[in-house]
């Protein structure tokens, strides 16, 4: 078995070198540590990653010179030690001892004195250091990369501070109730009987929000397909798409299959034909796993293909298309804190080009009079309202429809959701209808 702190250091070191993400790295390491340490490993890597910019600003202040790139493992080791001193209820002397020993296990015994000195200085001066750096360093105070702070200040001058604060608060665990099998109230009662406190959602009529996250295997009925884990804002896609019986529907960029399964829960028993397309073959198994658990696989077709290309399409147009576009993920940082480390400002331009290419391609697959819903889990207008505005200006047959929902921030094109405490993630939706030859839309 691998030592849990060594495993955490190796994961963090890989992140610092942009070699993988938490979702790609963590599963393999969870198999390498003892069962009793899996929770601690997740806490260490998610916690240190969530606090990375604050911890790093602190480390740079305490070090005479930063670690070299080849010593990213030592950098990760120090951040891990600082995180434990600040956030965990582990005796401080034990944290310092374990972190020094960790440097030895990394075969860098030359750094043990340095690690020991830095952690002991922090131990002595924690309050003073916090006050000093909070005033002197935006990276320490806001705990986000500088480019992201600046962009949010520019994009959302009235909201940027709250966005940054919410990004560092753990998101709630939200369930989507399978309406084919039970009601939200029934699931809530089942949860309470199992000692799991839960509240009904306010944004989605099928949402149940847990007071504390639990293992999905402890959720009554999960293995029977009675519910799925899905953010409340993400659950709005089915409502906004407003599929009618007998229509032909496409879910583009479908993995991991949450929105696809939600569509099928509503329409599997009707004459509606639902297709899905996903580019990444490594993500395809997640779609099939969700379909099988919910007993919905027979009701749809799933294609491995590129939503910006035609080669998978049979040439028959769709009545409704859901475009869950690839994006920065900036609206779900609180669930995926490594986004703060891995995303760069220049990524947004590349993503915007891809988003436009997907829209351009799928628009050709939409019937005149049909509806397309564009969705991202981003809070950057460059990926959201500006994409939709540009698309509408370039396509005279594209008619933007305001969304009939009371939540979120209504924009000239689409509705923007920001992450909310004990509620939904950051999300964006826009709805377009395709004008027919007479310039008439469905709405």
For position 391, what pLDDT does the model report? Answer: 98
End-to-end, the C-alpha distance of the chain in Å comes to 60
174-229 and 236-434: identical CATH topology: no
- Residue ranges of the alpha helices (H) in 17-158? 22-30, 38-50, 52-62, 72-87, 92-105, 112-136, 138-142, 146-155
Tell me phi and psi for residue 271, to 5 degrees.
-85, 10
Handedness of CA 160, 162, 165, 171 (dihedral sign): negative
**Residue 316: both structure tokens together:** 């028959």
* Whether residue 261 lies in the annotated active site: no
Count Cβ atoms below 10 Å from residue 170 Cβ, excluding itself: 14
Tokens 């639902």, located at residue: 274
Q: Which CATH superfamily is domain 174-229 in?
A: Sun protein; domain 3 (3.30.70.1170)
Q: Which CATH class is domain 4-140?
A: mainly alpha
Looking only at the bridges linking them, the beta strands covering 415-417 and 409-410 are antiparallel
Q: In terms of Cα–Cα distance, which of 309, 258, 302 is closest to 284?
A: 302
For position 291, what pLDDT does the model report? Answer: 96
**Residue 399: both structure tokens together:** 């008619």
For position 442, what pLDDT does the model report? Answer: 52
For position 443, what pLDDT does the model report? Answer: 46
| Whole-angstrom distance, CA of residue 22 vs CA of residue 204 | 29
| Whole-angstrom distance, CA of residue 349 vs CA of residue 2 | 40
Q: In terms of Cα–Cα distance, which of 120, 111, 8 is closest to 68?
A: 111
**Residue 401: both structure tokens together:** 């429809």
Q: Which CATH class is domain 236-434?
A: alpha beta
For position 1, what pLDDT does the model report? Answer: 86
Count Cβ atoms below 10 Å from residue 199 Cβ, excluding itself: 15
Mean pLDDT by 10 residues, the chain (443 residues): 95 97 96 95 98 97 93 97 96 96 95 96 96 95 98 98 97 96 96 96 95 94 96 96 94 95 89 91 94 94 95 96 98 98 97 98 97 98 98 97 92 97 97 81 52
Domain boundaries, the chain: 4-140, 174-229, 236-434
Looking only at the bridges linking them, the beta strands covering 366-376 and 427-434 are antiparallel
Catalytic residue among 227, 300, 327, 377: 377
pTM attached to this predicted model? 0.94
């Amino acid at each position: 078995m691998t030592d849990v702190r060594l495993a955490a250091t190796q994961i963090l070191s890989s992140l610092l070198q942009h070699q993988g993400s938490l979702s790609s790295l963590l599963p393999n390491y969870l198999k390498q540590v003892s069962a009793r340490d899996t929770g601690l490993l997740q806490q260490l890597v998610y916690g240190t990653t969530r606090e990375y910019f604050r911890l790093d600003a602190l480390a740079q202040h305490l070090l005479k010179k930063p670690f070299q790139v080849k010593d990213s493992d030592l950098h990760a080791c120090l951040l891990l030690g600082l995180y434990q001193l600040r956030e965990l209820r582990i005796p401080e002397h034990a944290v310092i001892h374990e972190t020094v020993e960790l440097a030895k296990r990394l075969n860098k015994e030359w750094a043990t004195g340095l690690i020991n000195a830095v952690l002991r200085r922090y131990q002595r001066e924690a309050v003073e250091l916090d006050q000093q750096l909070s005033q002197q360093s935006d990276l320490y105070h806001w705990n986000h990369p500088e480019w992201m702070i600046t962009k949010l200040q520019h994009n959302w001058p009235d909201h940027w501070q709250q966005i940054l604060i919410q990004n560092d608060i753990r998101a709630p665990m939200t369930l989507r109730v399978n309406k084919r099998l039970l009601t939200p109230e029934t699931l809530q009662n089942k949860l309470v009987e199992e000692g799991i406190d839960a509240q009904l959602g306010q944004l989605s009529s099928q949402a149940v929000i847990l007071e504390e996250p639990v293992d999905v295997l402890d959720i009554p009925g999960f293995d029977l397909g009675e519910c799925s884990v899905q953010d409340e804002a993400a659950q709005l896609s089915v409502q906004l798409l407003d599929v009618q019986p007998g229509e032909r529907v496409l879910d583009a960029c479908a993995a991991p299959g949450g929105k696809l399964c939600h569509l099928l829960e509503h329409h599997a028993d009707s004459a509606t034909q639902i297709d899905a397309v996903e580019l990444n073959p490594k993500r395809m198994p997640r779609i099939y796993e969700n379909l099988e658990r919910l007993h919905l696989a027979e009701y749809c077709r799933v294609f491995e293909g590129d939503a910006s290309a035609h080669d998978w399409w049979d040439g028959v147009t769709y009545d409704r298309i859901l475009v869950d576009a690839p994006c920065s993920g900036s609206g779900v940082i609180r669930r995926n804190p490594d986004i703060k480390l891995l995303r760069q400002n220049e990524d947004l331009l590349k993503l915007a080009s891809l988003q436009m290419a997907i829209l351009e391609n799928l628009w050709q697959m939409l019937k005149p009079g049909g509806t397309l819903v564009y969705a991202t889990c981003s809070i950057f207008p460059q990926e959201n309202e500006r994409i939709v505005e540009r698309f509408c200006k370039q396509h005279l047959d594209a008619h933007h429809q305001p969304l009939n929902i009371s939540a979120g921030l209504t924009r000239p094109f689409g509705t923007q959701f920001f992450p909310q405490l004990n509620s939904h993630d950051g999300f964006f939706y826009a709805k377009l209808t395709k004008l027919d030859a007479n310039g008439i839309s469905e709405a």
